[in-house]
């Protein structure tokens, strides 16, 4: 395990430690894959499986170091293991909030028939109770997401795509 000490300025932290976790290899995951950017979208499930295998190591690090603050992204069990040591948690994601919110809503809440894939139009339509009519996926973003082209979705979310014809299927 690599540990680096960082200094971020007194207004944030006096000092902090960054602990690098070794991601174990799992079947179907390319060797050396450690982040979603290392793999195609359709393999992200296998990265999640590998990340879940790091939980014991991460629990040990938290119990040993008792940090004040823990940053995490996709390991949804981090809050559960950070709470006992009193750590504050910060979830960060590189996708837009709309992308995350709209794609994590269970299909049942979107009135989608079980086993039926969502169409681009269904994915672009906010589910019942969604709090905004403005922060939504545009059709070309939904096409990018639905088609598994997350690079296109990220560029679109960053405002770097002006012509939706790029995403026509």
Q: Are 87 and 62 in contact (CB under 8 A)?
A: yes
| Buried-state track 61-81, b at ≥16 Cβ within 10 A, e below 16 | bbeeeebeebebeebeebeeb
Confidence band (pLDDT; 50, 70, 90) for 162? very low
Q: What angle do CA 140, 145, 147 make, to 5 degrees?
A: 90
For residue range 25-48, list pLDDT tens digits in order: 988 889 888 887 788 767 777 888
Element (H, E) at 59: helix 55-65
Domain ranges of the chain: 3-91, 97-167
Confidence band (pLDDT; 50, 70, 90) for 54? very high
pLDDT for 53: 93
Q: Which one is predicted more confidently, 62 or 100?
A: 62
Question: How far apart, in whole angstroms, are the C-alpha atoms of residue 62 and residue 114?
Answer: 40
> What 3-state class would DSSP assign to 122?
helix
């Amino acid at each position: 395990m690599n540990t680096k000490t960082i200094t971020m300025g007194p207004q944030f932290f006096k000092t902090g430690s960054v602990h690098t976790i070794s991601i174990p290899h799992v079947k179907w995951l390319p060797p050396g894959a450690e982040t979603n950017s290392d793999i195609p979208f359709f393999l992200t499930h296998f990265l999640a499986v590998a990340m879940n295998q790091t939980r014991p190591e991460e629990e040990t690090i938290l119990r040993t170091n008792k940090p004040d603050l823990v940053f995490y992204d996709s390991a949804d069990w981090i809050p559960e293991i950070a709470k006992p040591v009193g750590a504050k948690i910060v979830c960060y994601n590189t996708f837009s909030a709309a992308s995350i919110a709209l794609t994590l809503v269970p299909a049942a809440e979107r009135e989608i028939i079980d086993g039926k894939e969502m169409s681009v139009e269904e994915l672009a339509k906010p589910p019942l109770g969604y709090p905004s009519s403005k922060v939504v996926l545009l059709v070309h973003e939904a096409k990018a997401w639905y088609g598994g082209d997350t690079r296109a979705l990220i560029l679109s979310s960053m405002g770097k795509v002006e012509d939706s014809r790029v995403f026509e299927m």
